[in-house]
Amino acid sequence: MVSRNTIVIAAVATLWATVAGAQAPKSAELEQIKQRQRISLMEGVFERAVANGADNLLRQVKHVMPDVPMLTGAPAVRGFRLDGYGLFFDVEVPALRLPLAWTLRYVVDGNRLAVNTAFAQLRAMVLEQPPQDRARLEALVRQMEQRNQQPQAIAPPDVDPAVVRDPNEAYTRAVKEALVDAMLESSGPLNLGPDEWLTLAARDNVPNDPLVPGDSTDLQSVIFKVKGSDLAAFRSGQITLEQARARVKAEEN
| Candidate from 52-56, 61-65, 79-83, 95-99 with smallest mean pLDDT | 61-65
The beta-strand segments (E) located in 25-85 are 70-71, 76-82
Q: How far is CA 104 from the centre of its chain?
A: 26
Asked whether the beta carbons of 201 and 223 are under 8 A apart, the reply is yes
What pLDDT band is residue 57 in, cutting at 50, 70 and 90?
A: confident
The answer to whether residues 171 and 191 belong to one domain is yes
Position 164 in a domain: yes
Position 90 in a domain: yes
Mean pLDDT, residues 225-250? 96
The answer to whether residues 117 and 71 belong to one domain is no
Asked whether the beta carbons of 171 and 96 are under 8 A apart, the reply is yes
For the chain, the domain total comes to 2
pTM of this prediction?
0.65
- Coil, helix or strand for 193? coil
The answer to whether residues 135 and 213 belong to one domain is no
Range of 126's domain? 102-148
The answer to whether residues 194 and 72 belong to one domain is yes
Q: What is the dihedral of CA 22, 23, 28, 33, to 10 degrees?
A: 100
